[in-house]
Amino acid sequence: MKKTILLIVTCQLLLAGCQPAIAQTSKGVPPHAEQKFIKLAQIAMTPSSMINKYEGLLMQISKATPDIYYLLLRGETYEEEIEDREKLNDKDFALAIQETEGRLIYELNARKGALSHMAIESLNGQTELRKLNLAGNRTIDDEACKKIAAYLPRLQSLNLYGTSVSDKGLTYLLDLQELRSLHVFDTKVTWNGANEFRAKMESISGNDDLEITVGHGTPPLGSIKHGEFLKATYQKNVDLGRLDPNYIGRYPEVKAETGNKKYEDDLKKEATDPVLDLP
């Protein structure tokens, strides 16, 4: 309100100094000045941006791809007092997506908020979204996985760390044929469920390049395609004699090269001589 009053006073002062020869409206205000005032008043009364509210960022991915964007939304607002901080919720998330004005989002980071499956509905139509990070949103569940698969068919990286997704939710993601990276650590997903999902992605969806992170203390679930490549490369090197498959440490020790300066000698020299011998 104070900003609006200040703008009105400023415009009135500007109008007071105008020459009589300038055309005026029925209210005695020059047309261009009245339009400027209306525009300034609208800006003053515009609600705060949701992207700014959550200290977010909307920017182009690169100059080479000016039509796709990266969107960052913090999980909560910044306030000095913890009790005054507000978690990113479904409603504010939807408003933030609206503020992008239809721009195509390539990567979206919305961690540690209070988002649920309802937030995913706001992404309907974002067909270019490749990377989605929802880590730390405990209310993201299996229903969210169903909507992610339906609305974001070209997703390549999905971070569900610290959510409530279970093995059932993974079954909904089988349609994501381009998925390359999936993080489900600290969720209800089991290692057996993740391993079975990876196998189904290969046999059903034809995706053999998926890597899944389940958590500490479990065998890695790397890309099947990359694993086969490593095995083939190792065997090729064995066949060429570059590797010994029965290596038992019988190779001779490598002798240190002679003529190299020692670290201690360099320290002594630095005490009296310059580090660099400049001309």
Let me know: does 7 contact 40? Beta carbons within 8 Å. Answer: yes
What are the sequence ranges of the domains in the chain? 2-44, 50-233
List the structure tokens of 14.
Answer: 């500007």
Question: Which residue blocks in 77-221 are alpha helix, DSSP H?
Answer: 90-99, 117-120, 142-151, 167-171, 191-203
Flag whether pLDDT at 151 surpasses 50. yes
CA–CA gap between residue 240 and residue 260 (Å, rounded): 33
Cβ proximity of 132 and 152 under 8 Å: yes
Model confidence pLDDT, tens digit, residues 215-249: 888 888 988 777 676 666 766 666 666 666 565 45
CB 60 within 8 A of CB 68: yes
SS3 content of the chain, % helix, strand, coil (to 5): 40, 15, 45
Q: How does pLDDT run across 42-101, given as a tens digit for each residue?
A: 333 334 599 999 999 999 999 898 999 999 999 999 988 888 999 999 999 999 999 999
To the question of domain 50-233 being in CATH 3.80.10.10, the answer is yes
| Whether residue 40 has pLDDT greater than 60 | no
Cβ 53 vs Cβ 77: under 8 Å: yes
Task: Write the pLDDT tens digit of every residue in 108-142.
Answer: 999 999 999 999 999 999 999 999 999 999 999 99
**Local structure of residue 221 (DSSP, 8 states):** B
d(CA 72, CA 122): 15
**DSSP helix/strand/coil, 140:** coil
**The pLDDT value given to residue 244:** 61
What are the structure tokens assigned to 108, written together?
């979206």
Asked whether 86 and 38 are in contact (CB, 8 A), the reply is no
Residues 121, 97 contacting (CB under 8 angstroms): no
Among the residue ranges 134-138, 197-201, 202-206, the one predicted with the least confidence is: 202-206
- Could you give the count of Cα atoms lying within 13 Å of 127 in the half-sphere of its Cβ? 1
8 Å CB contact between 153 and 173: no
